[in-house]
Structure 1
Amino acid sequence: MNAVAYAEKGWFVMPLKPQSKEPAPCLRHGYLDATLDIKQIERWFSKPDLNIGLAIAQSNLVVLDFDIRNIASRTLWESYRRLCVTSNTHTVKTDNGYHFYYLADKSKQFKGKLIPGIDIKHKGYVVLPPSIHPNGSTYHVINNVDPVELPAELEKVMCWN
């Protein structure tokens, strides 16, 4: 999938530097410049090798970022991962774990971290496939379905309110 295809799904996208997680220099306000405007996206991505970023809250999404390197409790980490896998939502394999995508109202107030090793990404952005990680590995979709509503069990532990 390319940046235009993501925008056609209603996902606000932005260019990132090649093989990087950093916004491209053409963005004056970082992820706040992400857009659905196809003509702008085509201009940005006419330059080769740019990675693709997703402005999460603008796209009415929340992403659970599982990082295998930073887990504190393997048992708790696995139980949350199982819950995410059984929810059958859009899932991306990252260099060090997984991103699980859920529909979420942009007005929700999410904590930044669920447990060590599981970050809650909402205000900000994530890197989208087929972007290349700084270490050379590729982000790739492993469950190519639309994001589902955030399960109530997860919402209870993820939200401040």
Structure 2
Amino acid sequence: MTAAAEIAALYQKDKNAEVLERLPAALMEAFATLHACEDEDEREVLVGVLCGLFYAAHAVTYQTGYEDLSVVVEDRIQWAARQSADPVARGFGDWVRTTSLMRMAAYDAGLRLLGDALTTVDPGSGQDTRRLRMTGSLHLRSAILAARARRPDIATDHVDEARHVATQVDTDTDNN
């Protein structure tokens, strides 16, 4: 979907107004395409596109002060991620969900959610870069939640785990 790539580029350039103009049509197209798709491999790609579009919607609504709308978008991201067999997509959905949990000071709920996500995404002894990146992100978000819950030992453990994961990822990448 060319529209999704263009929206991602606009989001990276911080052009929120243009993102908001283009999102409704792109989301409708992605939904329609996903619902009509019967090929499992293609569905996985479409779920990824839909998650990316929803993430742009989440970020822009949150950044522009529409926190109530960003919570609705979190629901949609989590729904889309659950349509995937990909543990990284599911982990991403849970990671995004913790944004509103942090705002509501539901730190323990967020830690439980991310604990489950870490189990699901676990790269094991393999070098699956996507899983490693998501695992690192989940540990960092868990560290924030633990720190806000005033549980410094748990926060430190998650920072240490994120550091360990970082040593296994061979390159610095942004959104790749």
Q: Does the TM-score normalized on the shorter chain lie above 0.5?
A: no
TM-score normalised by L of structure 1? 0.25
Q: Which protein has the bigger helix share?
A: 2
Higher RCO (Cα < 8 Å, 6 or more apart): 1
Q: Indicate the structure (1 or 2) with the bigger Cα radius of gyration.
A: 2
Q: Which protein has the bigger strand share?
A: 1
